[in-house]
Structure 1
Amino acid sequence: MRACVLPRPVRGLDLFLQMAAIGARSAFGTRAIPKIASSCSRIYTTRPLAAKTTQWQRRSFQTAPPAGRIPDFAFAFDIDGVLLRSSTPIPSAHEALSYLQQQRIPFILLTNGGGKSEEERVADVAEKLKVPLDTSMFVQSHTPFAEMTDLHDKTILVAGGDGAKCASVARGYGFKNVVTPGDILVAHPEIWPFANVFREHYAPLASPLPKPIDPSNPANSLQIDAMFVYNDPRDWGLDATILMDLLLSSRGVLGTLSPKNNDRSLPNNGYLQDAQPHLYYSNPDLWWAASYHLPRLGQGGFREAFNGVWAAATQGASLDMTVMGKPYQPTYEFAERLLRKYRKTLFGSTGLNDPLRRVYMVGDNPESDIRGANGYKSPYGSEWRSCLVETGVYAGGEAPEGARPDVVSRDVGEAVKWALKDAGWQG
């Protein structure tokens, strides 16, 4: 193999990577040292840099900015396919984030993933990457739902996710009356013809319903005011059945059918004209990068399948819904508010006098990360630039119109190096 030597002078992230390798050698021996080479400014590592927990936990990223400088740029990183591949860190992810923290360059993690509380997910990601993180720099697909305080006293359906975790997340956001499809199945197994197959799974996870399903007495029957898909559904059949029941109901009362359905004298042939609960999805991703070598269907796959069921059942009636997550404007606005708030915690009022001019979005999915950054209109006047990495969903070739990045990078380390150069930062 041809030897590759880092060019001189070495600066910024290249220097940090070299120092990280030296530190790894002294602390852990040669087995933990990443092989670092430079060829066309690419970073190659054989494995993530090892680090002792006590070292990275003590590392402070609240120190003074180098030479008193305040960066006028920041980063937003996707997680799956950019920093992690399933549970495995992407090579260079630890080094890149550690360098930004050492330089006090603000960043947030902006993911279409979810299904856990922000506290649990942050702790998990921080442990895997060996970098200190907290919830002030973290946005999941369903995090913006916490702002929907007008529904906190209503009864909502929460679908998707692993077991009862999403229901717990919703309660943590302040929603007081949360019902899941599993709760309904355990209380009324007749609602789903295949209940016997899944009842043992749902029984220990179910919570009592606030009211029974009793269509003969609608005033005392379970009524749902809004429906949320918080995370990728695991049981597509059950979740789709209950969502359909509610969308065809009268005023969200389970077990009823609206008399307005298929009334061609009404708008939309009578469908969704009877105060049915609104449907919210937390993210649109058709694909996501898991441990398998090919992308796997995500929440967007369920949404497309459900749209097909709805179209067949209603002869093509329109289905009003709200889809959050990347690439949509509200999610990017929420993320930038969080990023600016976090930046203020780093620099105080000084950070307000030195405006945030540019944000680099680093992602692996052209249709969510890149399209979102390209199309985002910042209410604060910042410019968002898009960096597409080759470690996740993206499999090469030209991205579709509107989803073409400013740069394609081998991995997150290379993307950060490009952005630092683009921003004129010499650390």
Structure 2
Amino acid sequence: MNNIHRFIQKRFFLRTRHAHPFGIVLDIDGVLFKGRNLLPRVKEAFSLITDKNGNFVVPTVFLTNGTNSTEKIKAAQLSEQLGFRIPADHVLMSHSPLKMFTDLHDKQVLVVGQKNARSIAKGVGFKKVTTIDQLKNWFPHLDCTDFSRKIVDPKETEAARKRFKPVEAIVMLGEPLKWESSLQLMLDCVLTHGSE
């Protein structure tokens, strides 16, 4: 718990001109936006906590449980939609706390998520990343939920075995598109202690 407290304190409670006894934490989805549309009076509300240059006068953090982008991309989107600059370090994605798990950053991790899971995992500090999609492509015979991939070329399987490094940790970056297939492969990794 101390790590989380230090992470939040170090990251967010700086960079305002005046000291305040409070800060503001805003959920993005459903609080500022409904779908892609800015909710009424949001810009007016921000005028109460920013100066004429768009700088926050109260420490403000934006949260989202989204897993499909980085803090930098989300901050740029917010900046464009709100009409003033939102620094990337004022945005906390659901995967942002993974930066604290430095003891796992050098381990071989299996990353589960959607299209850009690999780049997001690298962005939060993981150096040795295998994605579920890579695992499916290397070992199609292990995916018992996708019968279209059952025909396997032995030469390809042998090449995949050479590329494959045993999984030391599994990182979930959100729901995969084909959860049943991903669940099968994650269980295989757990039951075989990360081996193929």
TM-score (norm 1): 0.37
Taking the TM superposition and a 5 Å limit, the aligned residue runs for 1:21-420 are 70-102=19-51, 104-161=57-114, 163=115, 165-193=116-144, 194=146, 196=148, 212-213=160-161, 222-249=165-192, 251-254=193-196
Aligned length: 168
Q: Distance in 1 between matches of 2:173 and 2:166?
A: 19
Structure 2: how far apart are the matches of 1:86 and 1:160?
A: 21
- Structure 2 CA distance for aligned equivalents of residues 134 and 63 of structure 1: 12
Query: Aligned pair in 2 of structure 1 residues 196, 99: CA closer, same or farther (>3 Å)?
Result: farther
Partners of 1:221 and 1:146 in 2: CA distance = 25
Q: Deviations over 1:166-220 (max 9, x none)?
A: 21011122211101111111222222242648xxxxxxxxxxxxx8348xxxxx9
Cα contact 2:111–2:130 (8 A) shared by 1: yes
3-state SS of the aligned residue for 2:84? coil
Q: Could you tell me whether the CA contact under 8 Å between 1:160 and 1:229 is conserved in 2?
A: yes
Q: Distance in 2 between matches of 1:63 and 1:78?
A: 20
Q: Secondary structure at the match of 2:167?
A: coil
Contact 1:212 1:222 in 2 (8 A): no
> CA–CA distance in 2 between the matches of 1:63 and 1:177?
37
The one-character-per-residue Cα deviations of 1:23-61 (angstroms, maximum 9, x if unpaired) are xxxxxxxxxxxxxxxxxxxxxxxxxxxxxxxxxxxxxxx
Helix, strand or coil: the match of 1:95? Answer: helix
Q: Secondary structure at the match of 1:115?
A: coil
Contact 1:98 1:131 in 2 (8 A): no
Question: Does the CA-based 8 Å contact 1:157-1:228 persist in structure 2?
Answer: yes
Q: What amino acid is the match of 2:134?
A: D
What is aligned with 2:152? none
Q: Structure 2: 5+ residue runs without aligned partners?
A: 1-14, 150-158
1:75–1:151 distance in 2 versus 1, CA, 3 Å: same
Look up the equivalent residue of 1:125 and give its one-letter code: L
Distance in structure 2 (CA, Å) of the matches to 1:63 and 1:72: 12
How many angstroms apart in 1 are the aligned matches of 2:20 and 2:108?
A: 45
Gapped regions of structure 1 (runs ≥ 5): 1-61, 198-210, 215-219, 255-427
C-alpha distance after superposition, 1:122-153 (max 9, x if no partner): 11122122231012211111101012111222
Amino acid at match of 1:120: I
Contact residue 75 and residue 87 of structure 2 kept, 8 A: yes
Query: How far apart in 2 are the matches of 1:221 and 1:101?
Result: 51
Distance 1:87 1:213 in 2: 44
Say which SS state the counterpart of residue 58 (structure 2) adopts.
coil
**Relative to structure 1, is the Cα distance of residues 221 and 106 closer, same or farther in structure 2, using a 3 angstrom cutoff?**
closer
Q: Given residue 77 of structure 1, which amino acid in structure 2 is its aligned partner?
A: L
Aligned equivalents of 2:168, 2:23: Cα separation in 1: 39
CA contact (8 A) 1:152 1:174 kept: yes
Q: Distance in 2 between matches of 1:137 and 1:195?
A: 45
Structure 2 vs 1, CA of residues 97 and 154 (structure 1 numbering), >3 Å: closer, same or farther? same
Task: Letter of the 1:95 partner, please give it.
Answer: E
Which has the higher Rg, Structure 1 or Structure 2? 1
Q: Say if 1:190 and 1:96 are closer, same or farther in 2 by CA, change over 3 A.
A: same
CA drift of 1:115 comes to 2.2
Distance change in 2, residues 1:63/1:134 (3 Å): closer
Taking every aligned residue pair, what percent have the same amino acid on both sides?
29
In structure 2, the partner of 1:404 is: none
- TM-score normalized by structure 2? 0.76
Write out the 4+ residue segments of structure 1 that deviate beyond 3 Å after TM superposition.
62-65, 211-214
Q: 1:97 and 1:82 mapped to 2: Cα distance? A: 13
